[in-house]
């Protein structure tokens, strides 16, 4: 439960500092060092996060996604930033240590997005199944219920 508690603290602190859980407002006010926008991306790409420097980061979310998916992807990419995932260059080899790190970073960003999504959309046990997200993401959200 350590990572879940850590993520809850990070998200709650960000919401408190921003006085909102609206991801777009947070991007444009509290996380000003992030160059954020929606953009037409490849069909197979939901979004991306680039760490250029401590004061310059880029988040792009695929503008063709539906609103729920856009929101979740924005939370996910924000998670990479807030969780300080700076080493996103990765060799595409299952046996490399970079692959393990990448998988861990993706899992942590999904957890971050799941908790943030839960808070922003007032998700509880009663309405979780009505959300149009993959079962894996619903499982991660349920960790915070």
* Domains identified in the chain, total number: 1
Q: Show Cβ contacts of residue 77 under 8 Å, excluding neighbours closer than 6 positions.
A: 47, 48, 49, 59, 60, 61, 109
- How far apart (Å, rounded) are the C-alpha atoms in residues 100 and 15? 30
pLDDT for the residue numbered 101 = 55
Model-level pTM? 0.88
> Which tokens belong to 31?
């996380």
What pLDDT band is residue 59 in, cutting at 50, 70 and 90? very high
Domain that holds residue 113: 2-142
pLDDT above 60 (res 142): yes
Sign of CA pseudo-dihedral 91, 3, 22, 140 = positive
Check if the beta carbon of residue 109 is closer than 8 Å to that of residue 79. Answer: yes
Task: Kindly state the DSSP code that residue 19 receives in the 8-state scheme.
Answer: T
pLDDT on residue 77: 92
Q: What is the CATH number of the domain that holds 44?
A: 1.10.10
| Structure confidence by residue, pLDDT tens digits, 1-34 | 699 999 999 999 999 999 999 999 999 899 988 9
87: left (phi over 0), alpha (psi -120 to 50) or beta: beta
Given this model, what pLDDT does residue 91 score? 25
């Amino acid at each position: 439960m350590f990572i879940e508690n850590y993520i809850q603290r990070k998200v709650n602190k960000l919401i408190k500092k921003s006085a909102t859980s609206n991801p777009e407002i947070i991007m444009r006010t509290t996380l000003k060092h992030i160059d954020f926008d929606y953009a037409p991306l490849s069909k197979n790409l939901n979004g991306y996060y680039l760490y250029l420097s401590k004061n310059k980061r880029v988040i792009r979310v695929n503008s063709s996604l539906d609103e729920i998916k856009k929101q979740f992807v924005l939370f996910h990419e924000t998670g990479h930033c807030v969780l300080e995932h700076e080493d996103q260059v990765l060799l595409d080899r299952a046996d490399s240590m970079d692959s393990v790190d990448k998988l861990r970073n993706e899992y942590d960003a999904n957890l971050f997005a799941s908790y943030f999504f839960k808070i922003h959309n007032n998700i509880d046990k009663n309405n979780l199944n009505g959300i149009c997200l993959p079962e894996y993401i619903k499982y991660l959200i349920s960790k915070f219920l």
